[in-house]
Amino acid sequence: MSLSASRRLNLLGAALIASLIGNNSWAADYTVDLSHAFIQFRISHLGYSVLAGRFNDFSGEFSWDKETPEGATITVNIKTASIDTNWAERDKHLREPDFLDVERFPKATFRTTEYAGDASGGKLDGELTLHGVTKPITLDVKAIGEGDDPWGGYRAGFRATTTIDRTDFGISRDLGPTANTMDFDLFIEGIRK
């Protein structure tokens, strides 16, 4: 290799390193703060009312940078036995084979496949595994805020909504014609690692 070619290669390498060092847009990794995160759902009760509930035990991690939001990713693992509708007998039934069958399917998981939007919000596509079935779903995401917390950490928070058809996941117990779809609200706050 000639001296000029070697010098050009070195200059190109130096320029690449400088551009990477000067670029602060690498996504930061966050751990979901369970004490400030909620997974809530609503479903029609026989067409007469609405039943609301939540999952109390879940964990997750996400990567986020507002300068490059298209790189956002999240993974959430939900313990299905933690379902809570504020009625112990109903929750017991929801854990049985008629519904979640938590003995066979103790965990539900969501993993990102793509994010399309900007730093204020957008569409988060991913795969939901529930009741042993994996299907694509889309969440509408809105950024709530981010910044330093009083304990020396840095936090970011989001709200996401989606609607799923429970029969797509093999949960088909007849609850009336309006009770197949479920609306979900997720409030996710993470602490930067």
pLDDT along the chain (193 residues), means of 10: 53 44 65 98 93 98 96 97 98 97 98 97 98 98 97 97 97 89 98 97
Residues 193/155, Cβ–Cβ less than 8 Å: no
**Please, which residues have CB within 8 angstroms of residue 123's CB and are 6 or more apart in sequence?**
115, 116, 117, 138, 139, 140, 141
The tokens 């994996």 sit on which residue?
134
Angle (CA) 9 12 17, round 5°: 125
Architecture of the domain defined by 25-192: Beta Barrel (2.40)
For residues 121 and 143, the answer to whether their CB atoms sit within 8 Å is: yes
Rounded to whole angstroms, the Cα distance separating 97 from 105 reads 10
CA 75 to centroid of chain Cα atoms = 6
Question: Which run of H or E residues covers position 36?
Answer: none
Report domain extents, the chain: 25-192
Q: What is the pTM of this model?
A: 0.85
